[in-house]
């Protein structure tokens, strides 16, 4: 009965989905593409690049957008070794996720959108690609996807799973819908014990704690070297410290710039680098920076000499370079209640990390990073900028945080290997 009510709501919301896509496409034209795939209609087949046997069923991995897709990289690398005979199918939900997948894995994988959670659309997807098994990253709980996959005898694994306390409470309110769906997972691999407990309480069968695969991510050495070269050039030009606001979300830049200009109203400011989380906001953030009377240099219009107060990192795939270039990183998504963006990569690069109060998407990693001295957390921008100034004046303290960050990152590696061992029976 509850599933039928859910289906009715989906169909009632059908026009709203297309209005949403149309609205998004005004700023991101890529949202106008591949609409048929969102209903389970595909013109492509599985790509068996480099494989001799074209009859093998693919391993299917789903990652909703950019961050989850990047987190897939160590898993995909390990799966290609563990099951070299099987092709790979990658699905996502956003154009930026698709672009990231194409850039990272397009040489050997088939990349499409996962359809919306309509039963017939899910069935068409499963019938078209006939996956051997599915691996869903983090917290994607779609009732019809789970029920239809079980009916088609396609094992589904929830990997790198996390569930915040707030999300847990929200799912509890619709437990009559969620609990039967959660029971359909073949395997649930959680990041931390708290995640496993919450998932089990929602009905997941015996979740196992695996850690986070985000610790296993390896940066492209060429991109890191690019950032180190930027740093050398920028220091030669102005000899100013470099402060990074990484993966910032809407509203955070305005609050940060207001506090920044208050702090540096009477003294020379460091060079500020702002890298927004979403590319569709690049122009708006550029306008915001100019509205504060700050000289702006955009990465997309890079010049040999940067005579600017603020650099806007309006490019994709270069976050590792910005970490390598910077003295201190303030992590976006943590200043306002977005739950934080991934700071593990910054720690791995040895870039000291300052966090705001909102880190619920990385609760376990935050607790460990704070305990191990790899990050510092403030309750507001005043505290965060005070700590930033202290670090910029204290090279020894920065170096201690840098070393602690690398050690923290290395100490928590290994989730990918554990995950692939658990997946072996489905490959």
The catalytic site residues sit at 68
CA distance 55 to 240: 59
Asked if 225 and 195 touch (Cβ cutoff 8 Å), the reply is no
Residue 92 β-bridge partners: 113
SS3 call for 238: helix
CA distance 305 to 307: 6
- Look up residue 85 and give its DSSP letter: T
Residue 109 β-bridge partners: 88
Provide CB contacts within 8 A for 55, sequence distance 6+: none
User: Does an H or E element contain 9, and which?
Assistant: helix 2-12
CA distance 93 to 86: 23
End-to-end, the C-alpha distance of the chain in Å comes to: 35
From 142, 116, 192, select the one nearest 364 (Cα to Cα).
192
Asked if 378 and 184 touch (Cβ cutoff 8 Å), the reply is no
């Amino acid at each position: 009965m509850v599933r039928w009510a859910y289906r009715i709501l989906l169909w009632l919301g059908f026009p709203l989905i297309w209005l949403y896509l149309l609205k998004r496409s005004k700023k991101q034209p890529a949202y106008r593409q591949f609409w048929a795939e969102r209903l389970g209609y595909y013109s492509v087949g599985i790509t068996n690049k480099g494989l001799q046997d074209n009859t093998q069923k693919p391993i299917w991995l789903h990652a909703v957008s950019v961050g989850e897709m990047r987190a897939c990289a160590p898993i995909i690398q390990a799966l290609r070794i563990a099951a070299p005979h099987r092709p790979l199918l990658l699905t996502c939900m956003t154009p930026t996720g698709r672009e990231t997948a194409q850039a990272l894995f397009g040489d050997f994988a088939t990349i499409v959108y996962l359809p919306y959670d309509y039963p017939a659309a899910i069935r068409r997807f499963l019938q078209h690609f006939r996956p051997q098994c599915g691996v869903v990253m983090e917290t994607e709980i779609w009732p019809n996807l789970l029920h239809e996959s079980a009916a088609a005898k396609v094992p589904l694994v929830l990997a790198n799973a996390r569930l915040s306390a707030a999300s847990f409470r929200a799912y509890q309110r619709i437990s009559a819908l969620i609990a039967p769906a959660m029971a359909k997972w073949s395997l649930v691999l959680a990041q931390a014990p708290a995640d496993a407990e919450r998932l089990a309480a929602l009905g997941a069968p015996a979740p196992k704690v695996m850690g986070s695969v985000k610790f296993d991510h390896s940066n492209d050495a060429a991109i890191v070297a690019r950032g180190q070269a930027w740093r050398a050039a920028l220091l030669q030009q102005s000899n100013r410290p470099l402060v990074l606001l990484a993966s910032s979300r809407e509203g955070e830049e305005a609050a940060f710039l207001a506090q920044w200009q208050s702090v540096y109203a009477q003294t020379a400011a460091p060079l500020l680098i702002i890298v927004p989380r979403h590319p569709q906001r690049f122009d708006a953030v550029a306008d915001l920076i100019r509205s504060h009377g700050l000289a702006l240099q955009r990465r997309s219009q890079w010049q040999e000499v940067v005579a600017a107060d603020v650099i806007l990192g309006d490019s994709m795939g270069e976050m590792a370079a910005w970490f390598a270039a910077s003295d201190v990183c303030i992590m976006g998504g943590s200043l306002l209640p977005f739950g934080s963006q991934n700071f593990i990569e910054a720690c791995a690069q040895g870039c000291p990390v300052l966090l705001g109060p909102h880190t619920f998407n990385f609760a376990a990693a935050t607790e460990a990073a704070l305990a191990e001295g790899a990050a510092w957390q403030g309750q507001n921008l005043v505290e965060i900028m005070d700590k930033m100034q202290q670090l910029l004046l204290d090279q020894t303290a920065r170096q201690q945080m840098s070393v602690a960050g690398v050690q923290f990152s290395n100490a928590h590696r290994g989730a990918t290997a554990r995950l692939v061992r658990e997946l072996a029976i489905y490959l």
